[in-house]
């Protein structure tokens, strides 16, 4: 029901208020109003006229009643008829019927017929008349009934009927005139509505045009102008306000976009392009170079020991230095080449349209030279050098990533070469470097993964072949490469600083093993452990060793520290102080690889050492070469003089053993007696 | 139809009086009717306040008396109808109308004088009643009852006829 009503009303809304123009709506409203007004007017006129007519007829009826009273009373019908005949002159009176007190028709008058009495037509019968009176409200023919009274005595009734044509004619005239006026008014309102429509539409059209222009040109500075009516002015003001808002937001958005773009492509500190932009430009340059057959160079620049600057002067100074470096690099770079900061102290430049390969190296050296100039920051004068790696297109790679990687590798090589150096990429070197890098990476986790193991090589008394101790040696079981030789990974560990943690582990592990042997009555009663020069410099070695000894309840006398000659040479004074500290703990100290370094025999006098380990190179041909034998004899006798024990390394045959015995060397180690082996293997040999 | 039914009901209710009235000839019935209708169109001088009824006095022998008796109680000029009949006029009080039957020709002047004195409307159906000084004379004209009026006589008794009556009258003498 409800929905039916709604749909009905919607239907009428559609019918009555079509989504048309202002004009049609105004016309519709005008028409409805005017037709309603006309209807009201006609209806009012109808009632008013009916009322008026009724009053007039009543008056006429009363006059007739007075006039014919006596005639009616005395039954003088002809007199009544005569009296009624007067109304022939009044066209409004359609008919008059006179009834006596018994409601019998005494006389009747009809406009169209001759007056007669007797043959009364049916419609004049009293019953028909009373029905006519009752229904007279909306009937065109108005019928009024008036009594004939005389001194309260009812003598009869007069019924008067007005001519129906009168009121109908009147209404027709009224309607015709009304319709004419309505039509006239509608024409006027149409003209007015049309004018209004045209004015309003023109205003809206101009607004719309402006809006379209704004959306087409994206120019938010355009404003709506023009004199409109009140509502349209309000609308245009709102529109202008909205445009200002949009314009403001648009400019803000563009600014943000610029900022974001800058941040995405440039380095904040130096204002140079970043890695992303550099690679992008390099890609484009490579495409161009590939098409035209040009050569192209990528320079990878890394400051030497920049970390030291940061550590000693602070990051603020470091940042200022980077800015100055960027400035100097930019000065040396051609305008159409791209200089970028990759991050940290790494910069890259690519040189396009390179005529000769040497030019790239020339440019790199120019950079190096300019960077070497002193920097003055916050009153400090700083000196910084750089290492530059160069990779060339098309020789060293075709993609930006590859060229950058190779330039990086070349830079790494340049650092290896002693810094402040330019190195051109070379695929052979690249192989080596990448292997080393991979190995260094693997070594980092080796300790945690348990890939490191200690091997032990017994030290033998040359006279009775009994084991007087053993040297702990580090071995690395690489999961893919298998056993990695110590001379390959120990230098790596020293370079990367991993030797510190590994060295600590070695000391701890050696002590643990020794304590087990001692507890189980094992074959080895004392151990010697190799210590790296880095450990001497950076670590509190005495504390570490003392901690490990105490933990395993070992006598320090059983523990021997082996130090190479070269390690001692780096910082003699500090090293000697350290060794003396170690001796105070009770630990023995041996000088490893003796004879390979540059230490003179005289320096031996100043070193706090207990044992001298003669390098295997002296033993190689000692049984064949007289010279070597003499030298060996001299060492042994000198050590004997200084009361330093001598251990010969690398004894592989009995001839060597014989010679050593002759010279008075009492202890040695080598394959002749036992190879380095795991603790368990050592146990098995003893058991057999 | 409705009125016919009503009439029949009335006839059933009052059969005796109705029959009595119906027995009289039409002429007298009309005359009785005239007698009761005429006062409506005539200005009569006021009677003493003690006379509350509308009195029609009949003097002499006439069938009208019986017919008028039948209409007793009917309201005329707002008063109830009273019919009085007597041989002696002085025995009748408060008369508004005095009907003088033809039998009283012999003492007409005396009766008229009595009535005039009291402002009583005098009516008769005797011949030449108006000429003899009577006020209304019921006459037969063309087989139809009509009346003659004597305005002078009426005026002398302070009675005036309505214009409608004058118009309907057969003859008016001044």
Residues A540-579 have pLDDT tens digits of 888 999 999 999 999 999 999 998 877 777 677 788 888 8
- In a shared domain, residues A596 and A499: yes
pLDDT at position B19: 42
A-to-B residue pairs, Cβ atoms closer than 8 angstroms? 36
- Of residues A77 and B56, the one with the higher pLDDT is B56
User: Which of A377, A395, A425 delimits the end of a domain?
Assistant: A425
- CA–CA separation, A338 and A402 (whole Å): 17
- In a shared domain, residues A377 and A475: no
Q: Is residue A493 part of a domain?
A: yes
Interchain contact, B168 vs A71, CB within 8 Å:
yes
Q: Are strands A143-150 and A153-162 parallel, antiparallel or unpaired?
A: antiparallel
Q: Over 90: is that where the pLDDT of A495 sits?
A: no
Residues of B near A (Cβ–Cβ under 8 Å) read 1, 3, 34, 37, 40-41, 75-78, 162, 164-165, 167-168
The helix or strand, by DSSP H or E, that contains position B33, with its residue range, turns out to be helix B26-37
DSSP for B62-126 reads -THHHHHHHTTT-EETTEEEEEEE-S-GGG--SEEEEEE-GGGGGGHHHHHHHHHHHT-EEEE-S
Given pLDDT bands bounded at 50, 70 and 90, which one contains residue B7?
very low
Tokens of A630: 């003499």
Interchain contact, A151 vs B167, CB within 8 Å:
no
- In a shared domain, residues A414 and A464: no
- CA–CA separation, A558 and A588 (whole Å): 8
CA angle A665, A667, A672 (to 5 degrees): 110
Q: Over 80: is that where the pLDDT of A516 sits?
A: yes
Q: Is residue A348 part of a domain?
A: yes
pLDDT at position A560: 94
Nearest neighbour of B77 by CB, restricted to A69, A127, A151: A151
Q: Is residue A109 part of a domain?
A: yes
Q: Over 60: is that where the pLDDT of A675 sits?
A: yes
- Of residues A570 and B10, the one with the higher pLDDT is A570
Nearest to B125, CA basis, from B135, B139, B146, B108: B139
Tokens of B26: 């039409």
- In a shared domain, residues A354 and A489: no
Given pLDDT bands bounded at 50, 70 and 90, which one contains residue B9?
very low
For B161, the closest chain A residue by CA position comes to A70
Q: Is residue A480 part of a domain?
A: yes
- In a shared domain, residues A480 and A419: no
User: Which of A101, A136, A169 delimits the end of a domain?
Assistant: A169
Q: What is the mean pLDDT of residues A375-385?
A: 87
Q: Looking at CA atoms only, how far is residue B110 from chain A in angstroms?
A: 30
- In a shared domain, residues A368 and A505: no
Nearest neighbour of B78 by CB, restricted to A74, A103, A151: A151
Interchain contact, A79 vs B77, CB within 8 Å:
no
Interchain contact, B78 vs A152, CB within 8 Å:
yes
Q: Is residue A210 part of a domain?
A: no
pLDDT at position A455: 93
Tens of pLDDT along B30-77? 888 888 888 888 888 877 777 788 888 898 888 888 888 888 878 888
Domain count across chain A: 3
Cβ pair A667, A676 in contact under 8 A: no
Q: Is residue A1 part of a domain?
A: no
- List C-alpha distances in Å: A402 to A350, A408, A427, B82: 13, 10, 12, 153
Interchain contact, B41 vs A69, CB within 8 Å:
yes
For A101, the closest chain B residue by CA position comes to B3
Interchain contact, A153 vs B41, CB within 8 Å:
no
Interchain contact, B40 vs A71, CB within 8 Å:
no
Interchain contact, A153 vs B40, CB within 8 Å:
yes
- In a shared domain, residues A591 and A669: yes
Q: Is residue A55 part of a domain?
A: yes
Which chain B positions have a beta carbon within 8 Å of A76's beta carbon? Answer: 168
CATH number of the CATH domain containing A417? 3.30.70.270
Looking at chain A, the whole-number percentage of residues with pLDDT higher than 90 is 24
- List C-alpha distances in Å: A628 to A621, A633, B90: 7, 9, 213
For B37, the closest chain A residue by CA position comes to A73
Interchain contact, B164 vs A151, CB within 8 Å:
no
Q: Over 50: is that where the pLDDT of A325 sits?
A: yes
Interface test with B, best of A70, A77, A83, A104 (most B CBs within 10 A): A70
Interchain contact, A71 vs B37, CB within 8 Å:
no
Q: Is residue A285 part of a domain?
A: yes
Give the CA radius of gyration of chain A: 64
- In a shared domain, residues A489 and A394: no
Nearest neighbour of B168 by CB, restricted to A76, A103, A127: A76
Write out the residue range of the structural domain in which residue A476 sits: 443-687
Q: What is the mean pLDDT of residues A490-506?
A: 87
Given pLDDT bands bounded at 50, 70 and 90, which one contains residue A4?
low
Nearest neighbour of A70 by CB, restricted to B3, B76, B168: B168
Residues of A near B (Cβ–Cβ under 8 Å) read 67, 69-71, 73-74, 76, 79, 102-103, 127, 150-153
Question: Which domains does chain B show, CATH number per domain?
Answer: 24-173 (3.40.50.2300)
Q: Looking at CA atoms only, how far is residue A68 from chain B in angstroms?
A: 8
- CA–CA separation, A631 and A601 (whole Å): 12
Beta strands in A578-666 (DSSP E): 588-594, 611-614, 645-649
Which chain A positions have a beta carbon within 8 Å of B76's beta carbon? Answer: 151, 153
Given pLDDT bands bounded at 50, 70 and 90, which one contains residue A114?
low
Three-state DSSP at A258 gives: helix
pLDDT at position A142: 80
pLDDT at position A133: 52
pLDDT at position B15: 39
Given pLDDT bands bounded at 50, 70 and 90, which one contains residue A10?
low
Q: Looking at CA atoms only, how far is residue A74 from chain B in angstroms?
A: 7
Nearest neighbour of A70 by CB, restricted to B1, B75, B165: B165
pLDDT at position A130: 54
Interface test with A, best of B5, B8, B40, B123 (most A CBs within 10 A): B40
pLDDT at position A9: 55
pLDDT at position B14: 43
Which chain B positions have a beta carbon within 8 Å of A71's beta carbon? Answer: 164, 168
Tens of pLDDT along A194-247? 888 787 778 788 888 888 888 888 777 778 776 677 877 888 888 888 888 888
Q: Looking at CA atoms only, how far is residue A83 from chain B in angstroms?
A: 11
Which chain A positions have a beta carbon within 8 Å of B168's beta carbon? Answer: 70-71, 74, 76, 79
Which chain A positions have a beta carbon within 8 Å of B77's beta carbon? Answer: 151
Q: What is the mean pLDDT of residues A259-278?
A: 89
Which chain B positions have a beta carbon within 8 Å of A131's beta carbon? Answer: none
pLDDT at position B5: 52
Phi, psi of A311 (to 5 degrees): -70, -40
Residue with tokens 């150096």: A421
Interchain contact, A79 vs B168, CB within 8 Å:
yes
Tens of pLDDT along A340-351? 998 889 999 999
For B4, the closest chain A residue by CA position comes to A102
User: Which of A118, A151, A169 delimits the end of a domain?
Assistant: A169
- CA–CA separation, A88 and A109 (whole Å): 9
- In a shared domain, residues A579 and A634: yes
- In a shared domain, residues A420 and A452: no
For B33, the closest chain A residue by CA position comes to A74
Interchain contact, B162 vs A151, CB within 8 Å:
no
- In a shared domain, residues A100 and A143: yes
- In a shared domain, residues A506 and A643: yes
CATH number of the CATH domain containing A533? 3.20.20.450
């Amino acid at each position: 029901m409800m929905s039916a009503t709604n749909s009905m009303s919607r239907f009428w809304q559609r019918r009555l208020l079509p989504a048309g123009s202002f004009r049609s709506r105004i016309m519709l409203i005008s028409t409805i109003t005017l037709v309603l007004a006309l209807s009201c007017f006609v209806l009012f006129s109808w009632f008013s006229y009916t009322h008026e007519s009724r009053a007039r007829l009543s008056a006429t009826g009363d006059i007739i009643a007075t006039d014919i009273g006596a005639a009616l009373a005395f039954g003088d019908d002809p007199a009544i008829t005569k009296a009624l005949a007067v109304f022939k002159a009044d066209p409004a009176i359609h008919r008059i019927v006179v009834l006596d007190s018994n409601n019998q028709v005494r006389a009747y008058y009809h406009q169209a017929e001759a007056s007669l009495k007797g043959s009364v037509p049916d419609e004049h019968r009293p019953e028909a008349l009373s029905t006519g009176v009752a229904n007279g409200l909306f009937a065109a023919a108005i019928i009024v009934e008036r009594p004939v009274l005389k001194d309260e005595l009812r003598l009869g009734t007069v019924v008067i009927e007005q001519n129906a044509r009168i009121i109908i004619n009147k209404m027709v005239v009224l309607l015709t005139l009304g319709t004419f006026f309505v039509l006239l008014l509608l024409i006027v309102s149409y003209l007015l509505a049309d004018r209004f429509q045209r004015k309003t539409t023109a205003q809206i059209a101009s607004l719309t045009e402006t809006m379209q222009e704004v959306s087409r040109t994206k120019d938010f500075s355009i404003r709506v102008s023009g004199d409109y009516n009140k509502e349209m002015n309000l609308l245009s003001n709102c529109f202008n306000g909205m445009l200002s808002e949009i314009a403001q937001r648009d400019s803000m958005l563009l600014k943000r976009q610029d900022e974001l773009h800058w941040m995405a492509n440039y380095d904040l500190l130096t204002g140079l392009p970043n890695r992303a932009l550099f690679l992008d430009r390099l890609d484009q340059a490579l495409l161009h170079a590939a098409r035209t057959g040009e050569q192209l160079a990528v320079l990878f620049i890394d400051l030497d020991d920049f970390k030291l600057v940061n550590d000693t002067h602070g990051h603020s100074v470091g940042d200022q230095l980077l800015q100055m470096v960027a400035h100097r690099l930019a000065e040396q770079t051609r305008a159409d080449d791209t200089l970028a900061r990759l991050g940290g102290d790494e910069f890259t430049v690519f040189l396009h349209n390179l005529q000769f390969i040497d030019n790239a190296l020339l440019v790199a050296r120019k950079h190096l030279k300019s960077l070497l100039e002193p920097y003055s920051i916050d009153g400090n004068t700083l000196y910084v050098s750089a290492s530059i790696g160069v990779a060339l297109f098309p020789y060293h790679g075709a993609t930006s990533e590859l060229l950058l990687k190779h330039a990086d590798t070349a830079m790494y090589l340049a650092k290896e070469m002693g810094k402040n150096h330019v190195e051109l990429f070379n695929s052979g070197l690249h192989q080596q470097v990448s292997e080393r890098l991979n190995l260094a990476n693997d070594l980092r986790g080796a300790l945690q993964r348990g890939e490191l193991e200690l091997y032990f090589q017994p030290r033998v008394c040359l006279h009775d072949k009994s084991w007087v101790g053993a040297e702990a040696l580090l071995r690395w079981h690489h999961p893919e490469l298998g056993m990695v030789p110590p001379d390959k990974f120990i230098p790596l560990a020293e370079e990367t600083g991993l030797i510190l943690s590994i060295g600590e582990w070695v000391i701890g592990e050696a002590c643990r093993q020794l304590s087990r042997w001692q507890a189980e009555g094992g074959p080895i009663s004392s151990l010697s452990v190799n210590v790296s020069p880095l450990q001497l410099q950076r670590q509190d070695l005495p504390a570490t060793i003392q901690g490990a000894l105490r933990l395993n309840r070992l006598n320090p006398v059983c523990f021997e520290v082996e130090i190479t000659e070269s390690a001692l040479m780096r910082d003699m004074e500090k090293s000697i102080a350290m060794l003396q500290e170690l001796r105070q703990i009770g630990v023995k100290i041996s000088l490893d690889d003796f004879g390979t370094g540059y230490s003179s025999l005289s320096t031996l006098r100043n070193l706090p050492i207990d044992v001298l380990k003669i390098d295997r190179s002296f033993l190689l041909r000692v049984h064949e070469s007289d010279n070597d034998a003499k030298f060996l004899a001299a060492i042994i006798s000198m050590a004997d003089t200084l009361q330093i024990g001598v251990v010969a390394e690398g004894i592989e045959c009995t001839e060597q053993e014989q010679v050593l015995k002759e010279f008075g060397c009492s202890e040695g180690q080598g394959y002749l007696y036992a190879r380095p082996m795991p603790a368990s293997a050592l146990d098995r040999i003893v058991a057999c | 139809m409705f009125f016919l039914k009503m009439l029949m009901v009335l006839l059933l209710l009052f059969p005796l009086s109705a029959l009595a009235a119906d027995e009289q000839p039409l002429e007298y019935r009309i005359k009785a009717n005239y007698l009761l209708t005429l006062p409506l169109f005539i200005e009569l001088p006021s009677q003493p306040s003690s006379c509350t009824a509308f009195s029609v006095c009949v003097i002499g022998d006439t069938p009208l008396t019986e017919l008028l008796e039948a209409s007793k109680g009917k309201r005329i000029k707002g008063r109830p109808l009273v019919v009085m009949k007597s041989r002696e006029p002085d025995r009748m009080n408060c008369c508004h109308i005095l009907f003088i039957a033809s039998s009283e020709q012999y003492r007409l002047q005396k009766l008229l004088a009595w009535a005039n004195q009291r402002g009583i409307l005098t009516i008769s159906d005797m011949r030449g009643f108006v000429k003899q000084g009577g006020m209304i004379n019921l006459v037969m004209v063309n087989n139809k009852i009509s009346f003659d009026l004597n305005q002078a006589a009426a005026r002398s008794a302070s009675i005036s006829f309505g214009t409608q009556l004058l118009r309907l009258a057969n003859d008016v003498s001044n």
